[in-house]
Homo-oligomer: A and B are copies of this chain.
Amino acid sequence: MASTADTKERLRLAAFDVVRTKGLSAASARAIGTAAGVNQALIFYHFGTVNELIEAASNEAVERSVARYAEGFSQVTSLAELLEVGMRVHDEERRRGHVAVMAQLMAGGQHDPVLARASKHAVGLWTAQVRSVLDRVVAPTPAGELLDSADLASAISAGFIGIELLHGVDGASADHAFASLDRLNALLTTVNGFGPTLRAALRVAARRLGTRAARLTRPTPSRK
């Protein structure tokens, strides 16, 4: 009592699982079909190509994940709480292998348009979620004057992906990187405890340096 039109669902789940446990390069039609307990030919019948199946699998997974934590994020009221919730979410998503899958898709997406689209969608959903919290919670605070929510949200996404890859290759080094994020966050939270004169001094100094840094960045716009 199983095989109806949820064969597609089983294929999506199996595809996600194979990418998660064995990596993108091992996610062949045969491997996924076997994992799903159905014939590999059904992948092409239902999804067209293997990568389109993987895209569907990723989309489904990321949409569920973001929804899963949406309430938790909505209850955040400070930068410190955002740190706390964000780290809990990241930790849980890491354990579930979801970050690993995203990293695999992003690497594959560098040279495959379908995987690129899937990656952009996944990263975009997480970034939007984080950004909305930043806008609501951090923007009105002193630290918010020094940061741009879109910038920071993208940086957080990129950082998590980078740390995930580092982790799979050199776990100790990834732990170091993670510890560093804590410190920077602590610094930001500390800024929120500053008085008005101090804030003004910070803002001026940061602005001076910010424009200079921006000038250095410009040589590499998003050429693609």
Residues of chain A whose beta carbon lies under 8 Å from any beta carbon of chain B: 22-26, 80, 83-84, 87-88, 91, 94-95, 100, 103-104, 106-112, 116, 119-120, 123-124, 127, 146-148, 150-155, 157-163, 165-191, 193, 198, 202, 205-206, 209-210, 213-214, 216-217, 219-224
What are 28 A-B interface contacts by the 8 Å CB criterion?
Answer: A22-B111, A24-B25, A25-B25, A26-B111, A83-B213, A83-B216, A87-B216, A88-B216, A94-B220, A103-B165, A104-B107, A119-B169, A127-B173, A147-B180, A147-B183, A148-B183, A153-B176, A155-B176, A155-B178, A158-B162, A158-B174, A161-B165, A171-B224, A172-B222, A178-B220, A182-B214, A185-B213, A189-B209
Given contacts A157-B166, A175-B222, A190-B205, 11 further A-B contacts (CB under 8 A): A22-B111, A25-B25, A25-B108, A94-B220, A109-B169, A147-B183, A148-B179, A171-B224, A178-B217, A183-B206, A186-B206
